[in-house]
Amino acid sequence: MTEGMSLRERKKLQTRHRLLAAATELFAERGFDKVSVAEIAEAAEVSKMTVFNYFAGKEDLVLAPMEEHVGDVARTVRDRAPGESALAAVRGQFLAAVEQRDPSIGMSDVPVVLGVRRLIQETPALLTRAHAFSMRSFDLLAEVLVEEGRSRPSRGWRAPS
């Protein structure tokens, strides 16, 4: 993953991971609302400003990894093989993720992943934002399907009477 990255890029990635790990550990111990950004910064051995250089807010320390997957289904449909249906592409992507026990679809039993999922479920602000990510994912998929429908010649389909 870090192959071909400059030293600066690798250090930035390490800092990001350190921040995510520190935040996750503190949130698991005390709960999301009882941990300050300053405490996360201290645990990660960075300044509070550094936290905000990497993450817009405290919620992002939990949800940033989830946000990275918002466009996965839409991208799968857009990039599918010629002749493959959207459903077959999404099914294939999902089954591959299940086989890999990918945390992005909720299939990981790694304790830290389970803890983050529990934290999201127990924290209204995080749950609301996670729901917004799901809705954005559906919107992106709908956009791909609508665009595909526009570019395809009409086949004379009519609604049943």
- pLDDT per position as a tens digit, 3-54: 788 999 999 999 999 999 999 999 988 999 999 999 999 999 999 999 999 9
pLDDT tens, position by position, 90-116:
999 999 999 998 888 877 888 888 888
The encoded tokens of residue 87 equal 């459903």
Q: Which pTM value belongs to this model?
A: 0.76
Class of domain 7-57: mainly alpha
Look at 160 and 22; give whichever has higher pLDDT. 22
Domain ranges of the chain: 7-57, 59-152
List the alpha helices (DSSP H) in 37-123: 37-44, 48-54, 60-67, 72-78, 86-99, 111-122
The crossing angle, in degrees rounded to 10, of helices 7-30 and 37-44 is 130
Nearest in space to 67 (alpha carbons), one of 136, 18, 140: 136
